[in-house]
Amino acid sequence: MATYSQLKDPETQTRLNQRYQSEIAGLKRLGFHFLAYCLEDHGPYSALKHPLISLFAMSKSEIMKFKWPFRVALANVLMAAENPPTIALCMGLGVKFYTPYQNGTVLITSNFHSGMSFGPDSRIIRNAQISSLDEAWEEHRRMALELSGQVEFLSDRMVFGDYVMLSALEEEAAKFTSTF
């Protein structure tokens, strides 16, 4: 399981702003604001255990850090919106939206195809995967507000700790199928 921390390195922050320039601009246009720079550390020897993941991430121009002992960590940008309370993760494949609810349900929508799926007993709802950022957000927003009629949002304002919790829930519930 990955660990998450806020990234404070100005050089890497600059690289992330350049890499995700169009995603950040698109999200700002949709009402999102900056939340945090995130470092997703996959643990000791992860670069050796999962070399294909590292190569795939490099092919998608992910910003990666390699640390001792043979750790790979992916750097990403997190943005947030208040209506509905949502975190947007900018990553090499595209943008993923997360909206959590008080009963433990999490709505996830992405603007890219993912090999991740969730079992029938999971509290994670995987919304449509739509290639346009605007259309993916509109569908996510529509579904999030529809669900809010049945259960309340986890909070009114998203913070970095919410992203850490949401990622852990997603990892725990995930089942992968081939994306290649």
pLDDT at 56: 67
**Contacts with 29 (C-beta within 8 Å, 6 or more apart), sequence order:** none
Indicate the length of the chain as a whole number: 180
The full set of domain ranges for the chain reads 3-176
**Single pTM value for the model:** 0.89
10-62 tens-digit pLDDT: 999 999 999 999 999 999 999 999 999 999 987 776 766 666 666 666 677 78
Alpha carbons 144 and 91: distance in angstroms, whole number? 22
**Residue 140: helix, strand or coil by DSSP?**
helix
Encoding tokens for residue 9?
A: 């390195």
pLDDT at 178: 41
Q: What percent of the chain stands above pLDDT 70?
A: 88
Q: Is residue 45 a contact partner of residue 71, using CB atoms and an 8 Å limit?
A: yes
Q: Is residue 30 a contact partner of residue 84, using CB atoms and an 8 Å limit?
A: no
Q: Is residue 142 a contact partner of residue 120, using CB atoms and an 8 Å limit?
A: no
67-93 tens-digit pLDDT: 778 888 899 999 999 999 999 999 998
Alpha carbons 54 and 25: distance in angstroms, whole number? 27
